Amino acid sequence: MDKFYLTTAIDYVNGAPHIGHAYEKILTDVIARHFSQRCDDVYFLTGTDEHGIKIQKTAASKGITPKELCDENAQKFKDAWKALDIDYTRFIRTTDEDHVKIVQKIFRKLMENGDIYKNSYEGLYCSGCESFLNPKDLTEDGLCPDHLKKPEVVREENYFFKLTKYKDAIIKHIKENPDFIIPQFRANEVLNQLEDIQDISVSRSKSNVQWGIDVLDDEEQSIYVWIDALSNYITALGYDVETPSEKFKKYWPADVQVIGKDILKFHSIYWPAILLALGLPLPKHIFAHGWITIDQAKMSKSIGNVISPTSVLESFELEHPDAFRYYMACAAPCGKDGNYSDDDFKEKVNAHLANSMGNLLNRTLSMLVKYFDGEVKEEFFVARNKELVTGSLSLLKTALNKIDLVKNNFDNFEIAEAGQEITTLVDITNKYVTDNAPWTLAKEEKMTECGQVLTTVLEVMCIISALIYPFCPNIAKDMARQLSFDLSTKLDDLTYENIKTGHLISKEEIKPVFLRVDSELADKSKK
């Protein structure tokens, strides 16, 4: 694997980021960090979608320019992702000058190729979706199913993209590449949508929408969302219709594009059609994740249950975002909906990160200090010495096998499932400690056996720190520091022996890697 390029959907900046936005960015960041453990060149793109009628109207209501509104809200997204340790390569804004110029060139090329034509149109337009809707897609009351508002009848002369021209090619691609759309059960949904597909409007009259990218050679039209927003995935790499950059040639096609299930149609039909019209290869995978509900209810401003991701960090006084990242990344099986609740968050992160994983490392290192003054001796390595404690080699083999299982999960974008594999390994290791009771071995003066148990656990903890790193980078670094383990080791280079012989740690150096969120030590007000 010489490179790995992944993208998120770009977020509309009509408001501030919420927990649903955070879910997608955390998922993608976890994927990016995992593949950085297998590949030296990972490019992670995210950003904001900044044109359209909603931004135009909101800015007017605030008495500011659309660009000022975009600047203000784009910064809120950047600040949120920084707080969540989202380590993107580029944050693209559709108001970026390089993006605007390339989009105009793309639009012109598609016109020159005969893929865009001008036509009068009357349709039902939902400003919330920024989309024209088919009457059959409305509710029984004639409302948009997502925004529960009646779309307005819009009559305009617009430019249209010949989506129908690429219908058969897209159907063929989906059927011949069953892993193009992930999870695969979404593919049938897309194939059904393709049956009634029509050409799509790709511009708006400036009499209705002024805030957009100008169509070259037509001062009365603004480029509409699809060619503008969707093209960010290639404009960010320096795509040009004449001479694409070396960066574009290196990274495209994307290895995976992570999106919400509600915009799957646009990414699995509209976007492939635009790429085909440009003569470009399609992304390898479109991964459509589910939604996050709040206490089993859909997020809604009217209900008042929209949660800011940083508010969770603040309310639980978390020093770093690892607990929230872990919880969100493991919130739902691949492609399914998940749920957030304060009680479940507290219960899961305490159980998995504090009680099971953190306590396992802490007590093992404490026993190494107590019985061996923090020293790991040559005879403690079961892989190159006689196995004195039954099950030690088996545990090490299980840990190495988990690496392959986790890699397979990530290859299929099963992020929560990968988290479960890691949790299972922690549970197996805890059972190994209980079964072999190193404290009893020490009491019976079976010191080599005791040392073998502790060293075997610490070897496994090195592997666990590597596997948990994409989810919990700060916790993983703390674990690796106490283990004197090089966390930059690629997953394929992990072995039975990651611990070095000699003095490992002193009593003063042992620190809990994660405090229970309801403990007095975790509550800064009680320190």
Q: Which of 76, 129, 167, 261 is catalytic?
A: 129
Of 70, 126, 334, 462, the catalytic one is 126
Classify 278 as helix, strand or coil.
helix
Judge contact between 322 and 471, C-beta under 8 A. Answer: yes
Cβ atoms of residues 425 and 356 within 8 Å: no
Beta bridge partners of 502: 376
Beta bridge pairs of residue 126: 131
* Token code pair at residue 216: 């070259």
- CA-CA distance, 130 to 124, in Å (whole number)? 11
Residue 175 burial (C-beta neighbours within 10 Å; 0-12, 13-18, 19+): exposed
Q: How far apart are CA 526 and CA 385, in angstroms?
A: 48
Distances 403 to 41, 60, 368, 462 between C-alpha atoms, Å: 20, 53, 26, 12
The 8-class DSSP code of residue 119 comes to E
Residue 129 designated active-site = yes
Spell out the residues 6+ positions from residue 519 whose beta carbon is closer than 8 angstroms to its own.
none
Backbone angles phi, psi at 141, to 5 degrees: -90, 5
* Coil vs helix vs strand at 121: strand
Distance of CA 517 to the CA centre of its chain: 24
Beta-strand pair 218-223/203-205: antiparallel
**Helix%, strand%, coil% for the chain, nearest 5:** 50, 15, 35
* β 213-215/218-223 pair status: antiparallel
Q: Which is catalytic among the residues 136, 301, 386, 527?
A: 301
Task: Identify the burial level of 50 via C-beta atoms within 10 angstroms of its C-beta, where 0-12 means exposed, 13-18 middle and 19 or more buried.
Answer: buried
Annotation says 126 is catalytic: yes
Active site residue 298: yes
Q: Residue 478's closest CA among 438, 518, 517, 505?
A: 505
Of 118, 147, 500, 503, the catalytic one is: 147
Quick one: which of 470, 476, 488, 461 has its CA closest to 513?
Answer: 476
Rounded CA-CA distance 53/60 in Å is: 11
Measured between alpha carbons, how far is 39 from 5 in angstroms, rounded to an integer? 11
- CA-wise closest residue to 15 among 76, 90, 81: 76
**Pick from 322, 313, 319, 310: which is nearest to 473 by CA?**
322
Which string of DSSP letters, residue by residue, matches 68-132? Answer: HHHHHHHHHHHHHHHHTT---SEEEETTSHHHHHHHHHHHHHHHHTTSEEEEEEEEEEETTTTEE
Known catalytic residue at 21:
yes
Instruction: Note whether 29 and 256 are within 8 A (CB).
Output: no
Separation between Cα atoms, residue 135 and residue 339, nearest integer Å = 31
- Enzyme catalytic residues: 18, 21, 126, 129, 144, 147, 298, 301
